[in-house]
Amino acid sequence: MTFEEGRAQFPVLEQLAYLQAGSVGPLARATIEAMHVEEERNLRDGRAGMPYFERVLALRDELRREIGALVGAGPELVALTTSTTDGCNIVLAGLDLGPDDEVVTTTDEHFGLIGPLHASGAKVVVVPPEPDQIVSAVTPRTRLLALSHVLWTTGQVLVVHDLKAHTGLPILVDGAQSVGAIPVDARGLDFYTISGQKWLCGPEATGALVVAEPERLRVGRPSYFAQQEHQPNGAFVPKPGASRFDPGWISAAQLSGLRAALEAQPEWRFTRAAEMAERCRAALQDAGMDVVVPSDRATLVSWRVPAEESAAFVARLSAAGVIVRDLLGRGLVRASVGWWTSDDDLERLVAAL
Ligand SMILES: Cc1ncc(COP(=O)(O)O)c(C=O)c1O
């Protein structure tokens, strides 16, 4: 697949400099077509009977295999969720943390992780996103490290494998800004979340959770079809593997749409995305912007704008057809640079500043 062929899959890029995949990625025509096929089938044949259920369950298995392959995990370690937030909630519901337990996290986590941490009942210890500070915050009461692989604020990459190796603690990694943007190997990490709608360009309400040892995490949020058997009193026997954590039904349209989206990704995606993100940083710096440049960085590019001006700044760019994000209250504006981003997109960004 050439760059032109890859980019041409996304109609939105014909009109907008769409620098928005950190929130929701562009949709490929094939993704929407795959969803339409499923919806038409449902319309025509209904959504009942064994053929329907067997078909959707088979789609789930295919997707489990394909998503697992993205991060080096076998299908038996993959639960299909509707979001990263879902994945974080599933893990925390199963860990049974209480007020005597501590979880170490960073100042730069998204609510999708920090919200579930807060709700877990554990003491949440928040430190700046630096490896030595994270390690220093560990005490004998620490039960979990919970961190993003790529920070949503600045695109900084955290050394999650090193932190796991150094502390030996269970680690929950928020992969919302990593999977599809940079190469990821989830092996050796206890829990790794994936968002389907961002860098994988899948439909909304798709995602996954990779659990290294599914039998060691309690099923804290059971769903009906994800258990092997259940009793009238609610007792249940979980299915083998991580499918026991599947939080609910996902439509055939979403499953097929995400599968099509995965197929639309070229092999060269990570090198090109990294290269374009560097070009974006350089272009913004040349234009006089105060760009945040972490030493280890991914495909999110942030620059400082006075907090009270950032909303108007983003609205002005949007009016010029350039879609970036205001990181509310943080005094940062963020561009998400994908493998599909062109030099023309970056020129439009600079021209609109
Ligand atoms: C780092 C991070 N975590 C979690 C989320 C929430 O993702 P989801 O909508 O898949 O729950 C986001 C979304 O913006 C994010 O940037």
Q: Contact at 8 Å (CB) between 37 and 251? A: no
Q: Give distance in angstroms: CA of 336 to centre of ligand 1.
A: 14
CB 172 within 8 A of CB 191: yes
The pLDDT, as a whole number, for residue 307 is 87
Nearest CA to ligand 1 atom 14: 23
Q: What are phi and psi of 346, to 5 degrees?
A: -70, -35
Q: Which two tokens stand for residue 321?
A: 């057809």
The CA angle 19-22-27, to the nearest 5 degrees, is 70
pTM here? 0.98
Q: Could you say which of 3.40.640.10, 2.60.120.920, 3.90.1150.200, 3.40.190.80 is the CATH number of the domain covering 37-263?
A: 3.40.640.10
Phi and psi torsions of 66, nearest 5°:
-70, -40
pLDDT at residue number 329: 85
324, 18 in Cβ contact below 8 A? no
Distance 280 CA to ligand 1 centre (A): 22
CA of 43 to the centre of ligand 1 (A): 32
Return the pLDDT at 225: 87
Of 291, 290, 326, 286, the closest CA to residue 309 belongs to 326
CATH top-level class of 3-27+267-352 = alpha beta
Alpha-carbon gap, residue 190 to 205, rounded angstroms? 23
> How distant, in Å, are the alpha carbons of 193, 195, 198, 270 from that of 178?
10, 9, 10, 11
Q: Is 177 helix (H, G, I), strand (E, B) or coil?
A: coil
Residues with CB under 6 A from ligand 1: 23, 83-85, 110, 112-113, 148, 152, 174, 176-177, 195, 207
- What is d(CA 64, CA 208) in angstroms, rounded to the nearest whole number? 8
Indicate which residue's Cα is closest to atom 7 of ligand 1.
Answer: 84
Cα separations in angstroms, 110 against 39, 104, 124, 154: 33, 14, 14, 12
pLDDT at 168: 98
> What's the pLDDT score for residue 101?
98
Contact 208, 36 (CB under 8 A): no
Distance 176 CA to ligand 1 centre (A): 5
Strand locations in 244-315, DSSP E?
Answer: 290-291, 300-304
Q: Which residue has the tokens 């258990």?
A: 227
Cα–Cα dist 230/240, whole Å: 14
3-state secondary structure of 219: coil
Amino acid at 201: C
Mean pLDDT by 10 residues, the chain (353 residues): 98 98 98 98 94 95 98 98 98 98 98 98 98 98 98 98 98 98 98 98 98 98 94 96 96 98 97 98 98 98 94 96 94 97 98 97
Is 280 in contact with 349 (CB distance < 8 Å)? yes
Ordered by start, the domain boundaries in the chain are 3-27+267-352, 37-263
Q: Give the residue, by CA position, lying nearest to ligand 1 atom 6.
A: 112
Give the number of other Cβ atoms within 10 Å of residue 238's Cβ.
20
Nearest to 99 by CA among 125, 126, 127, 120: 120
